[in-house]
Structure 1
Amino acid sequence: MRKDYFEITYKLRIREISAVVLTSLVILFYAFPKVVESELIFEEAEFTEILNVEIVKPLQQQQQFKSARPSIPIEADEESEIDTLDFMDTDIESFGDWGAPPPPPTSGNRPKWVQYDQAPTPKKALRPKYPDICKQAGIEGTVVVSFWVDEAGIVDQSSIEILQSVPCLDQVCINAIKKSKWRPARQGRQKVGVPLSMPFNFTLEN
């Protein structure tokens, strides 16, 4: 019996088809992976470029801020660690009294004379009461008292001093000065403290 042509050539055709398929796969394998790989490399390079521009700069700023911070002291665990530390030599005596404000002026270091444009004036007239005991004893005279009126118009009681004394009349003059309130002296618009001397006259005719 004569065999059909397709049956005779079946194996040959299978081989040819397999060869064509394999050849096609090989061509695709070598052709398309190269394109995909090149695209991946391009995308990776582009992504790396973005990271270099947008991420590195904030990191540099953080490093600058971090370097400006003072170091935090850490307690040493052992005495040997303390011995290995280097401390700067500090001369404590050279500091002196940096924060100490200058002492307020006292009666000993105040100037004897201060220039002013407007003299201090008492808010009320100073009229010490003539003691009855002094009147009965017939004592009269002039008491001169020096004192300091500061820039607030307040009399420094420690500065009160009798320059000319009448023993029976001195205390009433001192009391009158201690209770007095003043409008301070001025240099232009600036208030200043000044020394004053004030006489108090006592006569029996009054």
Structure 2
Amino acid sequence: MKLGLLGGTFNPVHLAHLRIAEEAREGAGLDQVLFIPAADPPHKPLAGDIPFRQRREMVQLAIAGNPLFGISDIEARRGGKSYTVETLAALREEQPGNELHFIIGGDSFLELGLWHRYAEIFELASLVVIGRPGREIADPLQQLPEAVRGRFSRESADQLRHSCGTVIRFVAGTQLDISSSRLRELLAAGRSIRYLVPPGVENYIAQKGLYRS
């Protein structure tokens, strides 16, 4: 199975997350996409201190009814900081028969050199990079960290191949300029987030009183 992996704090999950997953699934020919909520994000504090359980429940509501989307709680189960490289290594052990494809936005791709043990990520999974608003990737090969650039070859305008056999595939994405931080700002100001998140997520946030100032 070609298994897509979409990580994030999902604080809260929104329609752009769902669209990214769908376009990655279609563009890379994935059989299923797993959403992986971060339990303990390593790079910045979790805004609003929303617990893992509630962020997981929002994702479950968001993907309900789509059999091609699933969710994994692996980052909560393994404990410690939610480093991508360690999550991918754990998933390789849990899913030995599956081909892993890690989904990231173009903005994250441009910052990969700052990630914990980033060079190992390319050996653990292929990458599916989705275009994001305002972050154009003019020459993907030259945008890779210099330390690993020599291990890649250019197969086509939208695909690079690592010497170990994994690939980086670039998929044009719908430019939905929605962010979790903007949603939190709207909610704190008492404004509507309708049509920015799935209805089930909107209702959950209202019922739980999340993100209110």
TM-score where L is the length of structure 1: 0.17
| TM-score using structure 2 length | 0.17
